[in-house]
Amino acid sequence: MRRTITAAAGLAVLVLGTHPSKADGIGNPARGLEYAKANCAGCHAILKDEIESSPNPDSPAFAAVAATPGITRTALSVFLQSPHPTMPNLIVAGEDADNLIAYILSLKIPAETMPN
Ligand code: HEC
């Protein structure tokens, strides 16, 4: 029994490791969600099924951001490092940015079939 479990875990690692999923291995989506709850949820809807319910109506829901064609790690990274009119002091960099981007990209559904 133990052998079987170990083999299954090994297989899962193998499959996840080689599968061309949306995750590129950078950043921790769970931490990104925590960061978003603390810093972004005042304006943006941040959860997966909240497409049109941002507290601030001018702020796109993260799920909508993720669904935007052409949204990539690079695009989000550039965006988060630039101040812009509505979020003048909001610059996210380093590990926080990696985690946030991993979280936002994880909202793409279904990731494998989205054009990138
Ligand atoms: C004070 C309200 C407010 C907060 C807090 C806020 N945002 Fe925004 N955000 C906006 C508004 C309004 C827009 C849309 C207008 C614009 O792009 O200038 C926006 C746009 C964006 C966009 C661009 C979406 C697109 O498709 O162009 C991203 C990505 C984003 N915010 C991420 C974040 C993240 C990540 C956080 C938390 C670290 C955050 N925002 C916190 C108000 C806010």
Ligand 1 centroid vs 111 CA: distance in angstroms?
A: 22
> How large is the average pLDDT for residues 84-99?
84
Q: Is the CB of 57 under 6 A from ligand 1?
A: no
Look at 5-14, 45-54, 69-78 and tell me which has the smallest mean pLDDT: 5-14
Confidence band for 111, pLDDT divided at 50, 70 and 90: very low
* Residue type for position 3: R
Classify burial at 34, counting beta carbons within 10 Å of its beta carbon; exposed 0-12, middle 13-18, buried 19 or more: middle
Which among 64, 71, 26 is positioned nearest to 44, based on CA atoms? Answer: 64
8 contacts: CB under 8 Å, gap ≥ 6: none
